[in-house]
Structures are given as structure tokens and as C-alpha cells.
Amino acid sequence: MARILAIDYGLKRTGIAVTDPLQIIATGLETIESSKLQMFLSDYFRKEDVECIVVGDPKNLDNTPSEISMEVYRMIAELNKNYPDKRVICIDERFTSRIAQNTIAHSGLRKKARRDKSLIDKISAVLILQGYLDTIK
């Protein structure tokens, strides 16, 4: 089986998570600058077999698109164009950053490590991916 990759896209940073080849476990992979996302994915897809890309869809509490939604939709269009062999799926990402912050706060990490925003992005990507895995199992 091929891996599933999840993206928590942000204007500055993007969190990335992947499954194992059996698609059982979601693991944080990396947090990168959003401007380098396409280059990162191109390199990663050359090394690993990925069948599906899950993208967090940022919405407001009232289910309307958030401020960043248009940027996310542009990025999704780029993914569809650059990787037509991979399914791209959008799932609701509301509260993932908050849950990630709470997870980090209760993890026992030192205060300096807890302030690392790249860790929040990576954990948010894991939560997005795990949410998707829960819906397909």
C-alpha cells in the first residue's frame, strides 16, 4: 500500500504528516516554510509512494470559509495540477490548532519547546490525518 500524506497549510508554515505504508499510524513528518511546499512534496514523492493527499480545510465556526481559505484552495488546485495521479481530499480542520496546543501543554515539554509554533503545525497535520483515517476505517 502507499502512504497518505496530510497538509496543515498556513501562510508562513505548513505542517506535514504521513501514514506508514499500511496506513495505520499517522506521524508528524515536518514543518516547512509554505513557500517551499511544492519543492518539498516533489522531493518526497520521488522517494515515497503516496496515493492520497489530505488537506485541512480552514473554516470559521459558522462553516464559512476562513481568511486563508482562498490560499488553501489555490494550493489544492496546484496539487491537482502537479500530481494528477494522487487523490486530494479536503477535510474540516477546525479546532486542530487548539487541540495541538492543548496536547503540547500537557505533554511535559519545557516551556521553550511548548512555544515552538512549528510543532503545533506538525501536530495539527497529524490530527487532520488521524481524523481522515478514522473516517475511512
The mean per-residue pLDDT over the stretch 63-83 comes to 92
pLDDT reported for residue 102? 58
For residue range 75-125, list pLDDT tens digits in order.
999 999 999 999 999 998 765 556 545 555 555 556 555 455 666 788 889
Task: Supply φ then ψ for residue 14, to 5 degrees.
Answer: -130, 125
Query: How many Cα neighbours within 13 Å face the side chain of 66?
Result: 16
Q: Closest by alpha carbon to 80, among 28, 111, 38, 49?
A: 38
Dist CA 50 CA 7 (whole Å): 13
- Can you tell me the distance from the alpha carbon of 4 to that of 127, in angstroms, rounded to the nearest whole number? 13
> 135 or 96: whose pLDDT is higher?
135
